[in-house]
Structure 1
């Protein structure tokens, strides 16, 4: 493969990305051209929202092409366009052949949930101290154990126990929370998601881990559960408040994640008519919120 590198101002990033894509680039990446210097600039965006900018004041764009002739033709065509003004070529160079599968796999190591509970990709051996493991490889659905929200939910399961319980994983993604509940002895587990690909991922991951659960679209959730888990984002969690609370059995637990620290009061207010949420855990600016459903009087 061959790599075409360009320098461009922030306002040219979007149009150049589209142009490179139209010129059959295999991939296009954007980096801060001033990274690792005093001029380095951080870009921050809210989870689930687009970043505030398409690029940096000085952006380095890198496009991969299958053939050198394609890379040089792309440069020639781009250079003739008005929007290429203020942009500069860095160069075209050969990209050494690599074992891309092995390279990708090397980026994903086992993830510690608790000292004896680990998420382990299939190409790794479990750590010696692991007593409970989930085998999970990176895929299309959210939830590989690398994000703080996933780790906090799994940590809650490990520390509080769901032995013999009926459990609902609402917005299951990869199914990792449902699988975690199964590993810790839940007797009946429903995992639901609006994304059909997530449902398929959950089924495959459950089979790979040798656990039983029922996965499907949200209408698969029926009745009440001793534990209801929902790792989504704050906005849908607020909208879903009455529905999620209705699934929690008397004396049962509601466990919510995908919430930033500054959103705690919003969530408390949204759920206040039905249940009292409290912050149970925090990590890297994210929080886990939980509540216990009042025990119904006989």
Structure 2
């Protein structure tokens, strides 16, 4: 594998990245060329939202190619383009071979939900204090326990009485549905608009030896003692009538994917059905709940 390193100003980052993608780069990353110097620039955005700018005043762009000749051809083609006039080729270097699977796995450690409840990748042993464990490997579907919204939902499940019938709307990996099953739910339905998420949920449920039903949203029929929805604020507002219609009288609604500044918007959207209240917060995200 070979690494093509380039320098460009902020206004050329997007054009350069798009061109590298078109030239079959395996990956493209952008770094602050002035990092760890007095000229370093911090780029901050809202949690879960795109960065406010594409790059830095002096951006280092690194593209990976599987062969050296492909990297050199890409560099030559880029230098012939008009947009490259303020850019620079820094060099092409071989990337040492590594056990990429092991390296990737090393980045994912067990995640603590409560002192007794943990999310543990299959290549790790559960911590000694873990009394309840969900085995889940990082995959394509959202929900591996590493994001604050997922942790808050699981923390709520672990610290409240879970009713017999539970709906996980927008299930992703199925982690919330699995958590509800492990904490006493007898009938769990997990739905998502993405068929890959449905398949992921079924596989993860099987790996964790829990029984649940997964499917597309049209499978959500009837009412439930608990409805979980870890999505984002905008779809949560649109889905307010639907989600509340699935909560039985006196049942619980648990919503996540909400930034602190969006709390009032959500309260207003759900006011006709119940009073949403703040329940938990982590890293700029909040958990909101209601009794319907």
**Same fold, TM exceeding 0.5?**
yes
Which region of structure 1 is more displaced relative to structure 2, 39-48 or 138-147?
A: 39-48
Alpha-carbon displacement from aligned partner over 1:247-293 (angstroms, at most 9, x marks no partner)? 11111110000001111111111111110000000111110000112
Q: Provide the rounded CA distance (Å) in 2 between the counterparts of 1:116 and 1:18.
A: 46
**1:149-169 CA distance string (max 9 Å, x none):** 00000000000021x510000
**1:110-141: CA deviation from partner (whole Å, max 9, x where unpaired):** 00000010000000000010000000000010
Q: 2:118 & 2:69 partners in 1: Cα distance?
A: 47
Aligned to 1:185: 184
Distance 1:82 1:16 in 2: 11
Match of 1:154 in 2: 154
Distance 1:228 1:72 in 2: 54
Superposed counterparts of 1:39-188, under 5 Å: 39-46=39-46, 49-162=49-162, 164-188=163-187
- Hey, what's the Cα distance between the residues in 1 that align with 2:257 and 2:188? 21
CA drift at 1:52: 2.9
Shift of 1:60: 0.8
Distance 2:89 2:224 in 1: 59
Give the SS at the match of 1:276: coil
Query: In the alignment, does 2:264 pair up with 1:283?
Result: no
Asked whether the 8 Å contact 2:20–2:74 carries over to 1, the reply is yes
| 2:237 counterpart of 1:238 | yes
**CA–CA separation in structure 1 for the residues paired with 2:224 and 2:257:** 21
Q: Deviation per CA, 1:84-106, whole angstroms, max 9, x where unpaired?
A: 11111221111000000000000
SS of structure 1 residue aligned to 2:206: helix
Structure 1 position 227 matched with structure 2 position 226:
yes
CA distance in 2 between counterparts of 1:143 and 1:237 reads: 17
Q: Is there any run of 5+ residues in structure 2 with no aligned partner, and where?
A: none
Q: What is the CA–CA distance in structure 2 between the aligned matches of 1:144 and 1:32, rounded to whole Å?
A: 29
Distance in structure 1 (CA, Å) of the matches to 2:48 and 2:124: 30
> Secondary structure of the equivalent of 1:174?
coil
Secondary structure of the residue aligned to 1:113 is strand
Distance in structure 1 (CA, Å) of the matches to 2:288 and 2:42: 29
CA-CA distance at 1:36 after TM superposition: 2.2
Specify the SS of the correspondent of 1:7.
strand
Paired residue total? 292
Shift of 1:48: 5.9
Shift of 1:47: 5.3
- Helix, strand or coil for the counterpart of 1:85? helix
User: C-alpha displacement at 1:76, in angstroms?
Assistant: 1.7
Q: In the alignment, which residue of structure 2 is the partner of 1:296?
A: none
CA distance in 2, matches of 1:238, 1:223: 21
CA distance in 2, matches of 1:114, 1:244: 27
Q: TM-score, normalised by structure 2?
A: 0.97
Partner of 1:252: 251
